[in-house]
Chains A and B, each alone.
Chain A
Amino acid sequence: MDGLDDIVEEFLVESHENLDQLDSDLVALEQDPNSRERLSSIFRTIHTIKGTSGFLAFNRLEEVTHVGENMLSRLRDGELDLTPTRTSVLLQMVDSVRSLLTSIEASGGEGPVDVSGVVAAITAAMEDAPAAPAAVIPAPRAAPAAKKAPAAKKAPVKKAATAKTTARKATTPRAKATAPAAPAAAPLDDAPVAVLADELPETVDVHPVVDAFSDHAEESEAAPAASGDGQPRRAVADSTIRVDVDLLDELMLLVGELVLTRNQIVQNVARQTDTDLIRASQRLNLIASELQEGVMKTRMQPIDHIWSKLPRVVRDLGLQLKKSITLEMEGRETELDKTLLEAVKDPLTHLVRNSVDHGIETPDERRKAGKPAEGVLTLRARHESGQVVVEVADDGAGIDPAKLGAKAVQRGLVTADALTRMSPADILQMIFLPGFSTAAAVTNVSGRGVGMDVVKTNIESIGGTIEVESEAGRGTVCRLRIPLTLAIVPALTVECAGDRYAIPQISLQELVSLDAEKAANAVEEVGGAQVYRLRGELLPLVRLTDVLGLTSERHDGHVVIAVLRSEGRRFGLVVDRVINTEEIVVKAVGGQMKAIGLYSGATVLGDGTVALILDVQALARRALRTETTDRQDSQKAAAHAAAASETERQRMLLAAIGGGRRVAIPLDTVTRLEQVRTDSVEKVGNREVVQYRGAILPIVRLDRHLGAYGESDREVLEVIVYADHGRSVAIVVEEILDIVDGEAAIRSDIDDLGLLGSAVLGDKVTELLDVRAAILAADPAFYNTPAIPAQMTPEGATTSLLEV
């Protein structure tokens, strides 16, 4: 066994803490036997341990907690009174649980701990109702012991705990090495023996409680000494500390303030000349950043934390339902605030169970549908636009909107009339209505009509959203969007009508700045809506001033576009100017601001002014007409279809070669783009070369080669360094234009020397360069002979280059 399973480890940490609490609770309970609250708390703790141990297949642990739970539930319900006897058997139960946990931690198994004694004792104590005369005999014997127990307990238990802790320290590494032999772990060190041995008699027999405790105390004292020279490796429970999330929140707030203050200082110091001050401010800058990162990290946990439990859920459920399912996970390292992580745990588990139960079909059905028998359930997590997007996708039967609609009508959730007016996507969202379940049969997994609405409520309670997409026969995707509140986010600050606004960097794709002349040509109108051609794709433009009902202060015709992406849609936000990128702290705004639905919050900028943070999603929803969405959807669908039908799409580099001609070069073979001064071009025979990274790079001028006429008197040449099969060559073009997705399909075979053909790329006819041929045509001898004079190329590297 390689270390403890994560789940087991977590269970141990949690249980140890709970047990410490339990000890004091039980003792306190004896003073105040009627405290329902305390009883309930104890009950919950034991119940939790029982539940988890059952899940993890620790049977003895389950057994002992089970009887304990029985007794506690009767105590809680007032069916039994808490007598000292019962308190002491409960304490014994706690001790057995503790020794079982110790053994589990040391060896991964329950080891030799025997629980039958304590189980019997508890059962006996439960029968031992005050009215029952049969119980009179054992009671007085047990009672004095128990009376002394609390007193004895208070002191030794603490020591025992220490002893156990140190014992764990001492044994863990060795135990791991020798595992899985649990008994073998015991003789390795005195400490565990002490712990196990003194608890065993006590658990077997109710009466010698006091003796056992005194032993316990002595041996416990010995234990630290024994482990004094022990290994320094920390035990599971000691390597972490629990910190109140509130405290972390507070720290986070303070760090946020520090970051803002830092921004202000850095901004002010930039105007100073005092070098010491500047240096100090730089250090402050660095330290504040690191501190910020550190504090953020304390709250962040990879989503794997909750995902790691899912393979088992899927496996067990799959077996139970006789389905064969592979679980795939993408983005398991995506980090999420701890609080949010906890909040999505249950909804996510539910979605996964749902997918397994309803989504993925049985192997037979799948085969009939022409799909592989094994279903695939995919979990994806990623950061998008300041949110964490978590998807649960299956390749199952999907949801049929027609069936779903009929069901909804049948359940009276919607009228038949209303249904006809709903789009398929809207119909799908009805699965989130309370009281909706589409499962034909109620299984014990799901289908009771609670679930999706609860999932939705849970997600929305943390400010997230959930949406479902499904294609009948192809599968279903449930997408959760979870906000990253509290976070310090990098943002772009822009100016609009004299005010500054912050745009979370995560929604920002690129910035485009057009001068008046270019803007006049490049910004076009389509049916009253402004668009910009961004690399051939129409980018809908949204003027921030229009959205906000303000008047732009920019009158020089320049257009600054922030290209944003929201929910898969891309649009350009036109702002007056771009100011800066800055780390901002998201501050909550009052309810009135939220109700506007355009701002996700506000922040304080470096100079102390308040800036509103734009909610890009809301902005997109508000500003983009539905038709734009539809069009983009159909485009996306077309793109999908294209991608499915032919995988030949290629990224192409577009370059102008003069004379208005454009060529495309496959991007995957372009090593880099360089600029070369014309005066560094040297001649070798009638060929041009340039020194490049210690090698000699032959140059091909495309304009000459393809018969275009370019300007030959440029000072700087734009060069595409092209590598093919380990050989390199520099291709000189007039201007690098763009990178586009080339569509192999629209090639025409109008070709010319040095061309593969032509295609429409970015709405213009573009020549597809045959690189090999181009070089050949320019210099046929170049490929055949390693003809470059040897004196030019002493290095081996060049030789290979010349073999091109």
Chain B
Amino acid sequence: MTAPTDIKAPATSGQLATFRLDGDLYGIEVEHVQEVLRSQQLTRVPLAPSAVAGLINLRGQVVTAIELRERLGRPPRPEGTDAVVIVVRLHGEAVSLLVDSIADVVDVDAKDFEAPPDTLEGQARDLIRGAYKLHGQLLLALDVQKAVSA
């Protein structure tokens, strides 16, 4: 998608790093994002919550990978497609999110913000702070804190 240049950025708004997941566009605060990586080798963790896809080796650091599709109650990623890893840093600890693909960094405006649509259900509803109405598309703002506390 293209960054909507006509959106002014008032102080209350900010930049969101956006990514796609099962056809939808999500965004997380850009300051939380440490880096984005291609698909990584995962070490599965038996008995872990289902949203924990495994552990990845991030330059010697062991980082938990959360499968966002699972976390948001979406169907598993189709066979043969690789996940993209977004490494976020929260309270000094790195956690990674597995998403379908990465998109642009978008400036968002508080006036475009709305509470989560009522159609959102279940666990997803808790994890979505709300939606920014962009041109022709909704950008769902993900609550990173909640998303990683699987």
Contacts and interface: CB of A to CB of B under 8 A. Distances in A.
Contacts of B97: none
Contacts of A601: 62
Interface stretch (B37-45, B123-131, B137-145): B37-45
A609 B57 contact: yes
A499 B55 contact: no
B57 A608 contact: yes
B49 interface: yes
B6 interface: no
Given A603-B62, A609-B41, A596 B55 contact: no
Nearest to B54: A610
Interface in B53-105: 54-57, 60-62, 64, 93, 95
A549 interface: yes
Given A590-B93, A590-B95, A257 B45 contact: no
A550 B60 contact: no
Given A260-B60, A610-B55, A596 B45 contact: yes
Contacts of B47: 548-549, 596, 598
Size bracket of the B interface: 20 to 34
B43 A609 contact: yes
Given A589-B62, A590-B93, A590-B95, A610 B57 contact: yes
A592 B52 contact: yes
Nearest to A258: B60
B64 A610 contact: no
Contacts of A260: 60
Contacts of B44: 499
Contacts of B61: 587
Nearest to A601: B62
Interface string A582-621: 0000011111110010110111100011111000000000
B122 interface: no
A671 to B, nearest CB: 48
Contacts of A257: 60
Contact of B64 (A261, A499, A550, A593): A593
B75 to A, nearest CB: 23
A591 B52 CA distance: 12
A254 B61 CA distance: 12
B48 A596 contact: yes
A644 B21 CA distance: 69
A590 B94 CA distance: 9
Contacts of B55: 589, 593, 602, 610, 612
A782 B55 CA distance: 70
B46 interface: yes
Nearest to A257: B60
Interface string A556-595: 0000000000000000000000000000000111111100
Contacts of A549: 46-47
A596 B47 CA distance: 7
B64 A590 contact: yes
Contacts of B60: 257, 260-261, 604
B150 interface: yes
Contacts of A548: 46-47
A324 to B, nearest CB: 53
Given A590-B95, A602-B55, A604-B62, A611 B45 contact: no
A604 B57 contact: yes
Contacts of B46: 499, 548-550, 598
Given A548-B46, A592-B48, A603-B62, 4 more contacts: A550-B46, A589-B64, A604-B60, A610-B55
Interface of A: 257, 260-261, 499, 548-550, 587-593, 596, 598-599, 601-604, 608-612
Interface of B: 41, 43-49, 52, 54-57, 60-62, 64, 93, 95, 149-150
28 contacts: A499-B44, A499-B46, A548-B47, A587-B61, A587-B62, A589-B55, A589-B62, A590-B93, A590-B95, A591-B149, A592-B52, A593-B48, A593-B52, A596-B48, A602-B43, A602-B55, A602-B62, A603-B62, A604-B57, A604-B60, A608-B41, A608-B57, A610-B43, A610-B54, A610-B55, A610-B57, A610-B62, A611-B43
